[in-house]
Amino acid sequence: MSMKHQPQTFHPIPGVYMQPDGQATVTVWGPLLESVEMVGSPEMPMQVPLQKKEYGYWQGQTVLPPGQRYKFRLNGKEAFPDPASLSQPEGVHGYSEVLDRSFLWTDEGWTGIAQEELILYELHTGTFSDTHDFEGVAERLPYLKKLGITAIEIMPVNHFPGSRNWGYDGVYTYAVHGAYGGLHGLKRLVNAAHNEGIAVILDVVYNHLGPDGNYLAEYGPYFTSRYKTPWGKALNFDDAWCDGVRNYFVQNVLLWLEECRIDGLRLDAVHAMWDYSAHHIMQQISEAVQALEDATGRKKILIAEIDLNNPRYISSVSAGGYGLQAQWADEFHHALHSILTGETNGYYEDFGQMYHLEKSFRDTYVYDGGYSAHRKRMFGASAQHLPYSKFVVFSQNHDQVGNRLLGDRLSATLSPAQLQLAAAAVLLSPHIPLLFMGEEYGEKNPFLFFVAHEKEDLVEVVRKSRREEFAYFQFEGDFPDPQSEQVFLSCVLGHDCKKEPVARQMFEWYQQLISLRKTRPAFNNFERTAVNVWPVDEVERVLLVERNGHNDSVLIAFNFSDAGRPLPALCHGLDYILTSAQQSDYAANRLSPFSVSVFEKKNT
């Protein structure tokens, strides 16, 4: 059989892998190149020619010291940084750096946590603490444990241009941003989190790369002209030579989950990863992760961001799906946000009625085949065959806060009672809850979009695109300058729990809700049959949700009205467990405005 008919079995790990004795294996994918050689910086000169192997890979063996700076000279001409660089100390255009990857782990007893136990806390490394790095996050792990968080979800940390960025403009998929603490700093954070009993989820971007410092196309056909994305050229997952591209990202997944012992990935905008091949890239990634989990005994989870109400991504491979474990459920947020704020512009035009929130509690997808006015077409499919634990819900996240004119959080406009109600809706829902950093005490500082690009023309493109992208929201005024350092600094958390009584009370409320979720048996059943949601009256605005399981049953009454409401007939004859603070109204058989009350059956 000729080589072209044989199945591909050669899947090398790209980049520089150094052994303890200094021996290093150097691998570069460049199927159309005529020559590749590794060259050192002027201060650390060296030259290693690479040999062409199967499927477009170039490899070489050499001895390298940690800290060696290098690039790859292509076809005897210009030299570029390593596409799989682990460190870029000189920035996105500078020399790559060889790292000693050894690390002394102390989390050997850690095997992860069950998906159903996830209480996620999304954070941005640069704005979570005053030190703007992994050490600042690690110092606050005991605080998060006290809150009740079981997993932190870190926004992207791969190397990006400049000193500040959300992380979605990264151009070095394998390199951890140096200002955060680099690869070793990330490992120290993961190790510390595991020793606190907290899992780590990392946000990764496999649908595009940023525009500044992106040299992938110099090496090979990493991109395809078949499709387009909102951020530029689509990555090549199904065109000629796509196997090298697919392997590049699969090996990156394993870098985070195996070498860095991260517990899972949040995959950004997977709907923009175009792939019409028989073996979808999402399925290939999920199979590689399953094999890793089987080999190590450590639980791993893949959570997708999907702008499609398509359950195929999170259905099992045996059921014709791609095998991812969970997805963000944006429509729960949209339904909750529009009810609390009254906003019905932009994509919120598809929401605004209590019915939408009722349906999201019951069915998860609000649009599961019905007509979407915003999209002007029928949209979505049913997810009722999947458990609620397949879906992550939230009242705020980096997108929904940051993609606003002022990056304003709900705390900027809602009362403490409304904020408590929003928290209860998320934490007592049958889905997996996610909190956005600072919401647990009502953080007032905004979370704005920020960058630190070095090219002025690119800065202007960002400024212009931000205005145009969100013009349909009909915001008044101009956007804060994304390039401004002051904009970035204004987003750093204040951590007011110990300073302000209202913040402390909010923090304690979140603790109560999380404790209730963890300890009450009825909240630990995620099957569809275990949840009953009553039809809601648009005038009364009281949502009733029953949770059943493990010989336990609770009834939750969410009052989204700004007026007191009579205690629903279903609540009479039940024992009181919890109300939001205004207990006097409950005693008068009334639900307080913007409140939540939880009841249990007498015979449970």
Is 330 labelled as part of a ligand binding site? Answer: yes
Is 98 labelled as part of a ligand binding site? Answer: no
Is 270 labelled as part of a ligand binding site? Answer: yes
Q: Which of 97, 122, 218, 268 is catalytic?
A: 268
Instruction: Look up 408 and say whether it is catalytic.
Output: no
CA 524 to chain centre: 23
Is 236 labelled as part of a ligand binding site? Answer: no
Is 269 labelled as part of a ligand binding site? Answer: yes
Q: Exposure pattern of 552-588 as b/e (b: 16+ CB <10 Å)?
A: bbbbbbbbbbeebbebbeebeebeeebbbebeebbee
Instruction: Look up 457 and say whether it is catalytic.
Output: no
56/11 Cα distance (integer angstroms): 11
Q: Looking at residue 521, what DSSP letter applies?
A: G
Q: With beta carbons less than 8 A apart as the criterion, state whether 302 and 287 touch.
A: no
Is 496 labelled as part of a ligand binding site? Answer: no
Is 334 labelled as part of a ligand binding site? Answer: yes
Q: Give the residue from 36, 196, 34, 187 showing the smallest Cα distance to 99.
A: 187
Is 333 labelled as part of a ligand binding site? Answer: yes
Q: Looking at residue 372, what DSSP letter applies?
A: E
Task: Tell me the pairing of strands 96-97 and 69-74.
Answer: antiparallel
Instruction: Give the SS3 label for residue 591.
Output: strand
Q: What is the dihedral of CA 585, 591, 594, 595, to 10 degrees?
A: 90
Q: With beta carbons less than 8 A apart as the criterion, state whether 491 and 449 touch.
A: no
Q: Which of 82, 275, 305, 443 is catalytic?
A: 305
Is 100 labelled as part of a ligand binding site? Answer: no
Is 307 labelled as part of a ligand binding site? Answer: no
Give the contacts of 152 (CB within 8 A, at least 6 positions apart): 120, 121, 122, 123, 137, 144, 193, 198, 199, 200, 201
- Reported in sequence order, the residue ranges of 399-515 that DSSP labels E, i.e. its strands, are 432-436
Is 82 labelled as part of a ligand binding site? Answer: no
Place of tokens 């939408």: 356
Is 408 labelled as part of a ligand binding site? Answer: no
User: At 130, which helix (H) or strand (E)?
Assistant: none
Q: Which two tokens stand for residue 75?
A: 């076809």
Report in angstroms the alpha-carbon separations of 584 from 531, 590, 595: 29, 9, 13
Is 399 labelled as part of a ligand binding site? Answer: yes
Catalytic positions are: 268, 305
Binding-site sequence positions for substrate: 266-271, 330-334, 398-403
Binding-site sequence positions: 266-271, 330-334, 398-403
